[in-house]
Amino acid sequence: MKDPDPGAEPVAQNLIKLISNVCFSVFVFSVLIVTVVAITYQPPDPWLESAPALTRLFTQTENATFKNDDSVLKTGEDLPLLAPAVTPTPAPIPIAIAAPPPTVIERAGAATANSTAEAEAEPVPEPSCDEAALLPVNCSDPRVLVAVKRFNARAFRSIVFLGYQTPVNGSKADECDVMWRFRNRREKSWRKYRDFRRFKIGIGEDCTYKVAHPGAWHSGVNARPAKSRRSNATRSGKKPKVPAPSVRDDEINDTIPTLGSNTSFRKGRYLYYSRGADHCKGMNHYLWSFLCGLGEAMYLNRTFVMDLKICLAATYNPSKKDEEGKDFRFYFDFEHLKESASIVEEGEFWRDWKKWDETHKKKVPVKKVGTHKVTPMQLKKDKSTIIWRQFNAPEETENYWYRVCEAQAANYIHRPWQAIWKSKRLMNIVTEISGRMDWDFDVVHVVRGEKAQNKALWPHLDSDTSPDAILAKLREVIQPWRNLYVATNEPFYNYFDKLRSQYKVHLLDDYRELWGSTSEWYNETRLLNNGNPVEFDGYMRVAVDTEVLYRAKTRVETFYNLTKDCKNGINTC
């Protein structure tokens, strides 16, 4: 019998080596795959929409005239809010649990506000257990404000409190009026709003103050701001025909900026778009074209010359006719636009230009551009004081502002949607409506109008948005006797009366006094309109309905919930 070869390795040892080599190879291969994926994978930005997404969001074009559904209108401050329409049915607001502390960046700087944490963390002085000593309530006692803060933090979770004023006495010995500034969590802007309420103050089991009963929106009249000195009186001293508003929003600054001296005008660089075929088109079309021009001005590092006068398309007017002379500031936040971009009003620009030519022999250098085919990239190095794009082509397709931003220019020009917010005056109406429902409401968005009559494109819409059909759907997703706001283009006010058997129904027309002849909105818009009354038109109605919709706890949409018809007609889903 032969002795085993001393140089041979055991079979088991060879098998172990083979397995270890295979495992190591698998490990190396796995690491290689993970590394390649980590390098090449680019996750979507959770904060910003992509350029194609924004394009699909704001435009759905078939031809140069833009065929859009204007039932819901979006502007820059709404972009972070876009989400699926249906949200879970909320449970009743729990009173015993405080909301998580929010962090707020103030407009003026980096100051932050954390109202909930402040209310919970603020030290409370040792109370006196003598109940008689606590009544009548001393509203300036810091413990009263602490009680109000704690109540608000529990009851109004959808708003962020930015600052309180010292409470003042109400009408009774146990009542205090308190005013605070706030913003809504759903609104991504820095804008602030005011509320002042009357609270009935009671005594808790531990002999500290508590809120026994909260007042309604704007019920604390003793804490409201003093009336503004500004009035609608003319320079001649005559009394205004319309009463001044009780509370004026002094934070709105939509004055027209001036260019200054002639010297500064000559040193400036301007981009001027003359009127084209975009005039009197729908508001989404107007914004798409306007922001193209503003984007080109930013690309060229120039001041954009803008016309504040808008032609409101017939679709927003009961007369079904275009209306000239509407002010941009009726609809959009001009103050925010001024802070976001370099702009000058067209009339001011022409006055300064004419004054320069009258007082100087050397004329202002002007480059006139007669076609959109001259790209922004070709104008980048132009030294002329004024680049004047003239949209005078006979064909409408050659005559639209937005054509400047097409083709290769789309890679360079980015529309500054963040510069366009809805008017603060309209947003004050939105806040008033939401506040009257104590920020605890649901919304059903009902699209009817001409679409409900067009059976060819929307065969089921009319029946699916009947009162019975709406009520049946709402019973599935919204609890009975909730505040239900109906955002709709249905012209008949009583159409939704059947819903009142199950819900506390609110319609925009229930709040007509907010834009009536004695309202803050009415007086402020008159001042912008040379003393002439301003109509609360169809676009304003849609803007307010849209913003109230965004603030709802539960949203029920027409084309996502009420009907299976496609939003843009048959076979477009």
- Both 385 and 433 in one domain: the answer is no
Do 164 and 275 share a structural domain? Answer: no
Q: Specify the 3-state DSSP secondary structure of 395.
A: coil
Q: Is 288 inside any structural domain?
A: yes
Q: What is the model's pLDDT at position 75?
A: 84
Please give the structure tokens belonging to residue 435.
Answer: 């506040």
Report how far Cα 115 is from the mean position of its chain's Cα atoms: 23
Last residue of a domain, one of 207, 223, 239: 223
Q: Kindly report the CATH number assigned to the domain that includes residue 533.
A: 3.40.50
Domain that holds residue 447: 422-562
Say if residue 405 is in the same domain as residue 429: no
| Structural tokens at position 188 | 């991504």
Claim to verify: residue 216 and residue 361 sit in the same structural domain = no
| Rounded Cα gap, residues 443 and 496, in angstroms | 13
Q: How many CB atoms lie within 10 A of CB 529?
A: 15
The answer to whether position 346 is within a domain reads: yes
What local confidence, expressed as pLDDT, does residue 397 receive?
74
Instruction: Indicate the pairing of strand 386-389 with strand 270-273.
Output: parallel
406 and 270, same structural domain? yes
- Residue 265: phi, psi to the nearest 5? -65, -45
Claim to verify: residue 382 and residue 414 sit in the same structural domain = yes
Q: Is residue 191 part of a domain?
A: yes
Q: Is residue 42 part of a domain?
A: no
Cα–Cα distance, 43 to 118 (Å, whole number) = 37
> Omega of the bond prior to 127 within 30 degrees of 0, cis?
no
Residue 365 lies in a domain: yes
Residues 432 and 389 in one domain: no
C-alpha 38/C-alpha 26 separation (Å) is 18
Residues 407 and 428 in one domain: no
Q: Are residues 408 and 427 in the same domain?
A: no
Report which of 99, 98, 142, 150 is spatially closest to residue 124, judged by C-alpha positions.
142
313 and 414 co-located in one domain:
yes
Q: Which of 419, 436, 471 is the last residue of a domain?
A: 419
**CA–CA dist 139, 141 (Å, integer):** 5
For residues 439 and 414, state if they share a domain.
Answer: no
Q: Identify the three-state secondary structure at position 487.
A: strand
Joined together, the tokens standing for residue 417 give 């949607």
Within-domain flag for 289: yes
For the chain, how many structural domains are there in total? 3
Q: Give the pLDDT of the chain (573 residues) as one tens digit per residue.
A: 445 555 555 777 777 888 888 888 888 888 888 777 666 655 544 434 444 444 444 444 444 445 555 555 678 877 655 544 454 444 443 333 333 444 333 443 434 444 444 445 555 555 455 555 567 889 999 999 999 999 999 999 989 999 999 999 999 999 999 999 998 888 878 889 999 999 999 988 777 899 999 999 999 999 998 764 444 433 334 444 444 444 556 778 888 877 766 667 878 899 999 999 999 999 999 999 999 999 999 999 999 999 999 999 998 988 889 999 999 999 999 999 999 999 999 999 999 898 888 888 888 999 999 999 999 999 999 999 999 999 987 777 778 999 999 999 999 999 999 999 999 999 999 999 999 999 999 999 999 988 999 999 999 999 999 999 999 999 999 999 999 999 999 999 999 999 999 999 999 999 999 999 999 999 999 999 999 999 999 999 999 999 999 999 999 999 989 999 999 888 888
Domain boundary among 400, 419, 438: 419
- Asked, for residue 246, whether it belongs to a domain, the answer is no
The count of other CB atoms within 10 Å of the CB of residue 128 is 11
Find out whether 216 and 436 touch, Cβ atoms under 8 Å.
yes
> 275 and 408, same structural domain?
yes
Specify the 3-state DSSP secondary structure of 201.
strand
Residue showing tokens 């909260």: 214
Instruction: Tell me how far apart the alpha carbons of residues 149 and 306 are, in angstroms, rounded to a whole number.
Output: 45
Q: Is residue 210 part of a domain?
A: yes
Query: Which two three-digit tokens encode residue 73?
Result: 């209108």
Judge contact between 551 and 439, C-beta under 8 A: yes
- The pLDDT, as a whole number, for residue 561 is 94
| Residues 293, 410 contacting (CB under 8 angstroms) | no
